[in-house]
Structure formats: structure tokens, C-alpha cells
Amino acid sequence: MSKIRAAITGVHGYVPDYVLTNEELSTIVDTNDEWITSRTGIKTRHILKGEDQGTSVMVVEALKGLLKKTDTNPEDIDLVICATVTGDAIFPDTANIATYKTGMVNAFGFDLNAACSGFLYALTVGAKMIEGGTHKKVIVAGADKMSSIIDYTDRTTCVIFGDGGGAVLLEPTTDPDCGIIDYMHRGDGSGEKHLYLVAGGSRKPATVDSVIAREHFVTQNGRPVFKAAVTGMSDVVKKVMAHNNLDAESLDWLVPHQANFRIIQTVAKMADFPLEKVMSNIERYGNTTAGTLPLCLHDYEPQLKKGDNLILTAFGGGFTWGALYLKWAYDGDKVKRLD
């Protein structure tokens, strides 16, 4: 009997309406369009505005769109895994809020926190639930409201991040020409010192002093993270390519985490892979943390064909990183888009 694999049978992305431009940022902090564009490739990012608007707002939009595009009944969903570092609250989990708000009454849900690698790790977990034979329809979402943990007086971080996310539907397949085939994930806790939130967790709960000291915002040492990101991602991409006998010719798309366009260019170069086959939308969204990979798949969906070979790769706080190889399961140009 053919092996059961998990195939991505639909994708939908969502970004909030408000567009924060480089021009507007240059009125908030000492920066300019030239610096941001040349150092990061980012022109705009989207921001979720308004009272009581948490990450679940974006996850719910992504889930609703995904159900509609795939013509799926919410009651048929078994499980929702939501990758995020900016859940609505420390608990309950955002996946559970989203399943409730979308009528997925037979689903259970949980959040997974691996920073920018969250979606990749969650996709692997979701795929294993399908491969195990116990789950037939699993949704994997990745979304972050980074504006909720960004210090808009810190020019080294506020120009990079944005809000947004997306979700994919996973279903079982025995078709050898589609599905999630292989992955390699890595972690290195010594990277904690380069990308972190000081306070708000159990080690240093929120106090008046921690708020005054602005310790609830992202702190990043950009250069060491940049270096580790290009080394880490290019290493696992090359290993996954070699393990699956893929080369620049047979691989159709590289789907990298969108943290910095210079990182994307360098990883492509180190993996000896042409930039024309590398997905990128960082110019419009910035770094949406767990949201970047599903947003890329959503934007490039019309160009994807059944059987296309894709490698997804990500690197994030922790450090966490990885790469995942899949064969795309449908012709994207035949899907009715909602936007």
C-alpha cells in the first residue's frame, strides 16, 4: 500500500488594512526610506489597529478564507495548530479562540511557539498527525501581531516587523506526486541572547518597573542574527536538497522566511539557487514572524503547479531553524481567489 502523506490542499493569507510606509516611519524614528530599502528590502508593512484586536483576528480571517476557497465545512476540521509568538493572551491559546469563532466545533487546537520557524515546525507536526492516520483535515496557521511587541522608539527593530499571517489545509494523499516529503529542523538555545523579550514571561513577570524600562518589546542584535540566519538556512536547505536528490534544476521554488531581502539573496546564493525561483514579498509586508511562509504561499499560489518541488525554510529567535521539502498538490491558477 502507498504511504500516506499530508498534502497542502489550500492556502489563504491575511494582512490588516493599515499600511505603515517607510515615509511614515521616518516621522516616528530617525530613519529613512533609503536605509530601510537598501538594508532590508522593505517598503511597507501592515499593522492591526484598534482596541481588543489580537492575533486571533487575523487567524480567523485566514481560516474563513481557507474554508471558503477549499469549500470545506468547518465541522469537518479535526485540528488547528497555530504558530505564533503573539497570541491574544498567554492563555487560552489562539488556535482555540479561532476554532470557536469559525464554527470548527469538532476541532481541537493549540499554539506552537518557535518564533519565525513556528509555521515550519507546526507544518511538520500537522503532517505527522495526518500521516498517523487519525486526522483527516488539519489546518496549520502562522500569524503574528508583531506591532504588539515592537518598540516604536527603537529604529533597529520597528522598521523590520509587520502584522499578518495565513493558513494551509492539510489532507491525506497516497499520490506519490504530492505531499510533505522530508524535513530537517534545528535549534540552538545559546542564540537566546541575540533575539528575545526581557519581561512578561514566568522568569520576569510584568511589573511597573518592567513596563517603564520598556522590557516588553523585542530586543535584537541584528548582525549575529543575520549571520546565523544565512548559515543556518543555507545549511539545512542544502542538506534537504541533497537528501532528496534535488538540484537547482529540479527544485521549482525556494520559500524562505522573510526577515531581510539581503538574507534571502545570500541564502539563495549559498544554496546555488537562482533568485527568479525564490519567493519574496518582504517589500510589502516586512517580517510577520510566523506569518511569512503562509503569506508567501498565498501570494504565489496562482503560479504553483501540481507536482512542483518546493523547499520551505525559516530561521528565528531561539535560535530555531529548519527546512521542509514538499510537492505541491494542485494547480494554483485554477483556484478562485478571494482577493
Cα separation, 308 vs 94, whole angstroms: 32
Q: How far is CA 16 from the centre of its chain?
A: 16
Residue nearest to ligand UT7 (CB): 222
Site for ligand UT7 in 105-144 (CB under 6 A): 116
- Report the residue number, 44 or 260, with the smaller CB distance to ligand UT7: 260
Which of 46, 281, 287, 296 is an active site residue? 287
- Report the residue number, 223 or 336, with the smaller CB distance to ligand UT7: 223
Catalytic site residue 257? Answer: yes
Q: Is 223 in the site for ligand UT7 (CB under 6 A)?
A: yes
Site for ligand UT7 in 44-83 (CB under 6 A): none
Helix boundaries (H) for 9-48:
22-25, 33-40
Would you state the torsion angle of the CA atoms of residues 101, 106, 110, 111, taken in this order, to the nearest 10 degrees? -40
* Share of the chain residues as helix, strand and coil, in percent rounded to the nearest 5: 40, 25, 35
Residue 132, φ and ψ in degrees, nearest 5: -70, -15
Do 338 and 65 contact (CB within 8 A), yes or no? yes
DSSP reduced 3-state for 235 = helix
Minimum CB distance to ligand UT7, residue 158 (Å): 8
Minimum CB distance to ligand UT7, residue 141 (Å): 18
Options 4, 33, 39, 277; binder of ligand UT7; rule CB under 6 A: 39
Could you give the string, one character per residue 145-164, with x where binding to ligand UT7 holds by CB under 6 A and - elsewhere? ----------xx--xx----
Could you give the string, one character per residue 260-279, with x where binding to ligand UT7 holds by CB under 6 A and - elsewhere? x--x----------------
Question: Three-class SS string for 48-100?
Answer: CCCCCCCHHHHHHHHHHHHHHHHCCCHHHCCEEEEECCCCCCCCCCHHHHHHH
The amino acid sitting at 258 is Q
Number of residues that bind ligand UT7 (CB under 6 A): 21
Residues near 6 by Cβ (< 8 Å), separated by ≥ 6? 126, 127, 128, 129, 130, 131, 138, 170, 171, 172, 173, 179, 180
Minimum CB distance to ligand UT7, residue 71 (Å): 34
Cα separation, 42 vs 284, whole angstroms: 7
Q: Which stretch binds ligand UT7 (CB under 6 A): 33-41, 105-113, 131-139, 198-206?
A: 33-41
Tallying the residues shown for the chain, one arrives at 339
- Report the residue number, 22 or 96, with the smaller CB distance to ligand UT7: 22
Q: Is 185 in the site for ligand UT7 (CB under 6 A)?
A: no
Q: Is 259 in the site for ligand UT7 (CB under 6 A)?
A: yes
Do 221 and 190 contact (CB within 8 A), yes or no? no
Catalytic site residue 135? Answer: no
Catalytic site residue 287? Answer: yes
What does 259-305 look like in DSSP terms, one character per residue?
Answer: S-HHHHHHHHHHTT--GGGB---HHHH-B-GGGHHHHHHHHHGGG--
Which of 116, 158, 178, 296 is an active site residue? 116
Q: Which stretch binds ligand UT7 (CB under 6 A): 30-38, 141-149, 203-211, 242-250?
A: 30-38
Q: Is 186 in the site for ligand UT7 (CB under 6 A)?
A: no
Minimum CB distance to ligand UT7, residue 238 (Å): 19
Q: Is 222 in the site for ligand UT7 (CB under 6 A)?
A: yes
Radius of gyration, alpha carbons of the chain: 19
Binding site for ligand UT7 (CB under 6 A): 31, 35-36, 39-40, 116, 155-156, 159-160, 222-223, 225-226, 229, 259-260, 263, 287, 315-316
Catalytic residues, by residue number, are 116, 257, 287
